[in-house]
Structure 1
Amino acid sequence: MTTTSPSDERSGPAMSDEAYGALRASAALWAGASVLITNQLGQVLVQSVDYRDTRLLPGGAVDKGESPAHAASRELREELGVTAVVDRGLAVDWISADTVGAPASMRFPGELLHVFDGGTWDADRIAGIRLPESEITGVEFVEPARLPGLLSPVDARRALAALRARINGSGAVLLENGRPLAPTVLDRLAVLGTARAEQRYPWHPSTTPARLHAAEVRGWLFAPDGRVLALLDPDTGAARLPGAASTAHDGGDPVATLRRGAGEEAAARIGTPLLLGHLTAPAGQPGLLRYAATLDGVGPAPTERTHTRVLATPEQVAELFDWGPPATGQLAAVHQARRRLGLPEAARRPVTELTDAATW
């Protein structure tokens, strides 16, 4: 018995090799590769080029006989002067012939563009960037929410989809004109399309000083698998930890504030909280308390909900905020509390929406 792969199937038994090759060539697409690189603040590297007004991720065309991964590494070397192995895909985008507005003389047939993960670069690696004499006129790291204003629409959609795929850790996603074929909750809510909450305040893993007036109390609330509860705004995708601002009804008790906020914002019931520490805001602004606790359960999502409830690893949650270097200390305190609560360290997996009631 003879078997054939889909790529070997002919449209008819009498088709010659020459005719079959011509048929396939008539349906050929261009191939491209780009690389998503972030700095330690979660900002994305974009390039200014001398041949268009909009910015680009590093990358370019795949040469004849070249693999997309090899092309991505080559482009990093040519455009940034950086030698790097690029071996993790984030997205593959099918770009239709009429999407990019290419001139007719170019005869653009459409493209398959591969987005690779260039990783997170520290200050030393960024300082090692060396631009070529022509084509690349500058590079900068920008907030994800700025991408739609700097890149072309399809390029911005693709970059944000790739960044969400990196956060999810689910492998490369399939896109059509920058739009995911199987949108995740991060895609549906356009997470990172709105500016991340910025709280680059000093972190203090200690008991709260008596002089600190805590205007806000929020918690890292753990499910049994080591993931934590986060809240996403259904209109903007902006993230927050469960909790609330202090009120007179709480009697000055931050634990009462946390329980009330977890119930009101997330219909969540929690165990005995552990104090993690506090963030000191700029002069004249009240401080921010952080606790950790187990999730005993969540009630049904309200019909008119104000937040989308998700479970994610602590690291995934931190990537949804602009906390700066202090995030490292806060995450260390979170994992120390997790161990005290006897919970496992969660492996990265796609962020999961909580739509139904659950009890643990």
Structure 2
Amino acid sequence: MTTTAHPDESPDSSMTDEEYGALRASAALWAGTSVLITDQRGRVLVQHVDYRNTCLLPGGAVDKGESPSHGASRELLEELGITTAVTRGLAVDWVSADTPSTPPAMRFPGEILYVYDGGTWNDQQIISIRLPGHEITAVDLVEPATLHALMAPSDARRALSALRARINAGGPVLLENGLPIAPTVLDRVGILRTARVEHHFPWRPGPVPPDLPVRQCRAWAFAPDGRVLVLLKPDTGTACLPGSTLEDQGDPVTTLIRKAAEEAATHLGEPAFLGHLLDPTEPCAHVRFAATLTQLGPVRPAPVTGRTHTRILATPEQAVALFDWGPETAGQLVTVHAARERLGIPEAAAQPVTELPGPVTW
């Protein structure tokens, strides 16, 4: 029996099955898996191993005849002592043969590496990790921005790309050497490349005590589909809600409306007070409002900072994944969704974030 060497070759360019099999085998790549696991703060679980000086995500080589998803589950059991199925893919990465971290003696042919979503683990799940007596020496939960300092460059790129794909909720992404071939706005801005500011402040849904100064006001600004406006800073890739620090204890509502217009050409409906975060370091309050988005003007630099924010719509859950607000996040989200219902706005469906580069009127 004969076959053509390639689908686009003419029929007279034929090979035997043995020759064709040998040709395909000569171009074969390794297959591997990684599993992205985070804690409830959005920190990434990485492993320290005894055979290299950089960290890795849990995972490893796919055995002969084994599917990648089964391989990922097997590696979690072998490396962390956890029995669980992985059912959601985040990325498929083509890794080139000239990867710098691969020793020449290994004769690395390149690899197709499947990245799976291991989910968000609570404290009890993390405590239940049991390491083997070899290879894995320790695990850490690390801020996404530190991955580049801990991992080989291609591994760090892959982990961040997979994490952005998880937040974006657009399905698995295709990568080449850790970089998406079709970057989203989260990739282009470089979200999570800069360490998130840790704001683990208690959430208080009631009014601000009269003796507590207000230092900041920001809004959960809702579009009609239930998503909220998030601003991404181009120089750092960090995220913020519309609003600002108060100047000279000015009126929070007036400041919020003015700053939203100045910083992001955003026009809000009448803000409704939600509550405040208690900052014990000063002490002071950071107040939060809910409002409807009525109009966005053209993107332009802010008059004070000269910074041009990237504007996106994200579900509230996608938005909080971009911050490190600690265990009080859940309570704030409950208040936010209650306010959304009072505004008559539906709960947003899970979907990719949307960039808003031009004018919009709702």
Taking structure 2 as the reference length, what is the TM-score of the superposition?
0.95
- What is the number of equivalent residue pairs in this alignment? 354
**Counterparts in 2 of 1:224-303, with a 5 A limit?**
224-248=224-248, 252-302=250-300
| C-alpha contact (below 8 Å) 2:194/2:238 kept by paired residues | yes
* Residue 8 of structure 1, CA deviation: 8.2
* Residue 19 of structure 1, CA deviation: 0.9
In 1: Cα distance, 2:312 partner to 2:164 partner: 14
The structure-2 alpha-carbon separation of the partners of 1:19 and 1:264, relative to structure 1 and needing over 3 Å to count, comes to same
* Greater displacement, 156-165 / 296-305: 296-305
| C-alpha contact (below 8 Å) 1:231/1:307 kept by paired residues | yes
SS at match of 1:87: coil
**1:19-50 Cα distance to aligned partner (Å, 9 max, x none):** 11111111100000010000111100000000
| C-alpha contact (below 8 Å) 1:214/1:286 kept by paired residues | yes
**Counterparts in 2 of 1:149-298, with a 5 A limit?**
149-248=149-248, 252-298=250-296
* Residue 105 of structure 1, CA deviation: 2.0
In 1: Cα distance, 2:205 partner to 2:37 partner: 31
* Residue 245 of structure 1, CA deviation: 1.7
2:23 matched to which residue of 1? 23
**Counterparts in 2 of 1:1-360, with a 5 A limit?**
9=7, 11=9, 13=11, 14-248=14-248, 252-302=250-300, 305-360=307-362
In 2: Cα distance, 1:131 partner to 1:252 partner: 54
Unpaired segments ≥5 residues, structure 1: none
In 2: Cα distance, 1:261 partner to 1:331 partner: 23
| C-alpha contact (below 8 Å) 1:221/1:292 kept by paired residues | yes
SS at match of 2:279: coil
Q: Could you list the runs of 4 or more consecutive aligned residues of structure 1 that deviate by over 3 angstroms after TM superposition?
A: 6-13
| C-alpha contact (below 8 Å) 2:221/2:228 kept by paired residues | yes
In 2: Cα distance, 1:291 partner to 1:239 partner: 17
Aligned-partner residue type, residue 116 of structure 2: F
| C-alpha contact (below 8 Å) 1:46/1:55 kept by paired residues | yes
SS at match of 1:15: strand
| C-alpha contact (below 8 Å) 1:244/1:260 kept by paired residues | no
* Residue 283 of structure 1, CA deviation: 3.9
The structure-2 alpha-carbon separation of the partners of 1:68 and 1:100, relative to structure 1 and needing over 3 Å to count, comes to farther
Indicate the percent of aligned positions where both proteins have the same amino acid. Answer: 63
| C-alpha contact (below 8 Å) 2:5/2:20 kept by paired residues | no
* Residue 236 of structure 1, CA deviation: 1.2
Aligned-partner residue type, residue 260 of structure 1: R
| C-alpha contact (below 8 Å) 1:96/1:111 kept by paired residues | yes
Taking structure 1 as the reference length, what is the TM-score of the superposition?
0.95
In 1: Cα distance, 2:312 partner to 2:5 partner: 41
Unpaired segments ≥5 residues, structure 2: none
The structure-2 alpha-carbon separation of the partners of 1:7 and 1:314, relative to structure 1 and needing over 3 Å to count, comes to farther
SS at match of 1:199: coil
| C-alpha contact (below 8 Å) 2:58/2:76 kept by paired residues | yes
| C-alpha contact (below 8 Å) 1:276/1:333 kept by paired residues | yes
SS at match of 2:155: helix
